[in-house]
Amino acid sequence: MTDKPFLYVVVCAAGVAEGVSKLITAAQERDWEVGVLATPTAMNGFFDAAAVETQTGRPIRSAWRRPGDPRPFPAPDAVVVAPATFNTVNKWAAGIADTLAVGTLCEACGLGVPIAVLPCVSGALAAHSAYQDAVARLRGMGVRFGDPYAGEAEGDGGRREFGWERALDLLPGG
């Protein structure tokens, strides 16, 4: 146990998730204790789960605990969602808590915990009005969004850096 503030890092199933260790390192350097929650799809090979567990010193949470089991993580002082998928953002705004990740995000909003989101959503999906409504709704609930990131190749064929630390900068005092 430490007296450091506790940060939940919620990882969704987007290709850039493979780089999530960069966010964990940056958060630990800013003196956060980190616990990772991942969607069930993200656990299906989108990042190196064993490496993340070694890095955080805690198991990744993806499924609901059994009734009567203790809560594995302390309550969060802040939450970052990176990368955030089209699917998870839409479900979160609609209150469809069918994964531990989305249920935790819905609850964190209700508790007034600061939440920062780095979406990774293609331009085609981001144009869907349901997504635009979801982002507006979550912003209205106090959730902070980083600039859009489509994960698509740019003119030179390369991809822009995801910029993991933006998530920490969006948090109060970040």
Quote the CA–CA distance of 116 and 95 in Å, as a whole number.
17
The verdict on 27 binding ligand FMN (CB under 6 A) reads: no
Kindly give, in sequence order, each residue whose CB lies less than 8 Å from that of residue 59, ignoring residues fewer than 6 positions away.
53, 72
The DSSP H or E segment spanning 9 is strand 6-11
Identified binder of ligand FMN from the candidate list 49, 88, 114, 146, rule CB under 6 A: 88
Identified binder of ligand FMN from the candidate list 8, 47, 86, 164, rule CB under 6 A: 86
Do the Cβ atoms of 88 and 62 come closer than 8 Å? no
Identified binder of ligand FMN from the candidate list 14, 80, 82, 171, rule CB under 6 A: 14
Burial group, residue 97, by CB count within 10 angstroms (0-12, 13-18, 19+)? middle
Give the shortest CB-16-to-ligand FMN separation in angstroms: 6
The verdict on 90 binding ligand FMN (CB under 6 A) reads: no
The DSSP H or E segment spanning 24 is helix 20-29
| Per-residue contact flags (x/-) with ligand FMN for residues 112 to 151, judged by CB under 6 A | --------xx-----------------------------x
Token pair, residue 106, equals 């819905």
Identified binder of ligand FMN from the candidate list 10, 12, 105, 170, rule CB under 6 A: 12
φ, ψ of residue 119 in degrees (nearest 5): -70, 150
Among positions 45-84, residues that touch ligand FMN (CB under 6 A) are none
Which residues bind to ligand FMN, rule: CB under 6 A?
12-15, 39, 41-42, 85-88, 99, 120-121, 151
